[in-house]
Structure 1
Amino acid sequence: MLTGMHVAVIGGDARQLEVIRKLTELDVKLSLIGFDQLDHGFTGASKVKIDEVDFSDVDAIVLPVHGTNMEGEINTIFSNEKVVLTEPLLRQTPNHCTVYSGISNDYLDGLITITGRKHVQLFERDDVAIYNSIPTVEGTIMMVIQHTDFTIHGSRVAVLGLGRVGMSVARTFASLGARVKVGARRSEHIARITEMGLEPFHLNDLENNVKDIDVCINTIPHMIVTASVISKMPAHTLIVDLASKPGGTDFRYAEKRGIKALLAPGLPGIVAPKTAGQIVANVLSQLLSDDLKKRKENKK
Structure 2
Amino acid sequence: MNKPGKAAVIGGDERCAVCAELFAKSGVECAVFGLEKSGISSSATKAASIADAVCESDILILPLPVMSDSARIFSPLSDANILLSDVIGNVSEKTVIFAGNPQKCFFSAIENAGLCNEIINYTKSDLFAVLGGVPTAEGAIIEAINATGKTVSSSKVLVVGFGRVGKQLSSLLKAMNADVTVTARKSTDLALIKSCGMRAEKTGDISKTKSRFDIIFNTVPACIFDEKTLKAIKGRPVIIELASKPYGEGFKRKKRRRSAPQFVEKLFIKVF
Does the alignment reach a TM-score above 0.5? yes
Q: How far apart, in 1, do the equivalents of 2:54 and 2:92 lie?
A: 9
- Structure 1 residue 263 displacement after superposition: 6.4
Q: How far apart, in 1, do the equivalents of 2:253 and 2:120 lie?
A: 37
1:270-285 aligned within 5 A: none
What is the letter of the counterpart of residue 106 of structure 2?
L
CA distances 1:222-275 after superposition (whole Å, capped 9, x unpaired) = 111222222232224222222224527845555555x568566766257xxxxx
Aligned to 1:112: 110
Check 1:173–1:59 CA distance in 2 against 1; reply closer, same or farther (3 A cut): same
Higher relative contact order (CA 8 A, sep 6+): 1
Q: How far apart, in 1, do the equivalents of 2:11 and 2:88 lie?
A: 16
2:226 pairs with 1:221: no
2:165 pairs with 1:165: yes
- Structure 1 residue 162 displacement after superposition: 0.2
What is the letter of the counterpart of residue 162 of structure 1?
F
Aligned to 1:66: 65
- Structure 1 residue 164 displacement after superposition: 0.8
What is the letter of the counterpart of residue 100 of structure 2?
G
- Structure 1 residue 109 displacement after superposition: 1.2
Aligned to 1:127: 127
Q: How far apart, in 2, do the equivalents of 1:49 and 1:223 lie?
A: 38
What is the letter of the counterpart of residue 102 of structure 1?
G
Aligned to 1:276: none
Residue 212 of structure 2 contacts residue 235 of structure 2 at CA under 8 Å; is this kept in 1?
A: no
Give SS of 1:30's match: strand
Structure 1: 5+ residue runs without aligned partners?
271-300
- Structure 1 residue 157 displacement after superposition: 1.2
Residue 11 of structure 2 contacts residue 63 of structure 2 at CA under 8 Å; is this kept in 1?
A: yes
Q: Which has the larger radius of gyration?
A: 1
Q: How far apart, in 2, do the equivalents of 1:8 and 1:163 lie?
A: 31
Q: How far apart, in 2, do the equivalents of 1:25 and 1:71 lie?
A: 34
Residue 136 of structure 1 contacts residue 267 of structure 1 at CA under 8 Å; is this kept in 2?
A: no
1:127-206 aligned within 5 A: 127-206=127-206
Q: How far apart, in 2, do the equivalents of 1:206 and 1:59 lie?
A: 47
2:238 pairs with 1:243: no
- Structure 1 residue 78 displacement after superposition: 5.3
Aligned to 1:283: none
Q: How far apart, in 1, do the equivalents of 2:49 and 2:240 lie?
A: 39
- My pick for the range that moved more, 97-106 or 201-210, is 201-210
Check 1:240–1:192 CA distance in 2 against 1; reply closer, same or farther (3 A cut): same
Check 1:230–1:117 CA distance in 2 against 1; reply closer, same or farther (3 A cut): same
Give SS of 1:151's match: coil
CA distances 1:5-46 after superposition (whole Å, capped 9, x unpaired) = 122222233222211211112221223333567797755735
TM-score (norm 1): 0.74
Residue 158 of structure 1 contacts residue 210 of structure 1 at CA under 8 Å; is this kept in 2?
A: no
What is the letter of the counterpart of residue 228 of structure 2?
S
- Structure 1 residue 115 displacement after superposition: 0.9
What is the letter of the counterpart of residue 187 of structure 1?
S
Q: How far apart, in 2, do the equivalents of 1:79 and 1:261 lie?
A: 23
Aligned residue-pair number: 267
Q: How far apart, in 1, do the equivalents of 2:251 and 2:78 lie?
A: 33
Structure 2: 5+ residue runs without aligned partners?
none
Identity %: 23
Structure having the larger proportion of residues in helix: 1
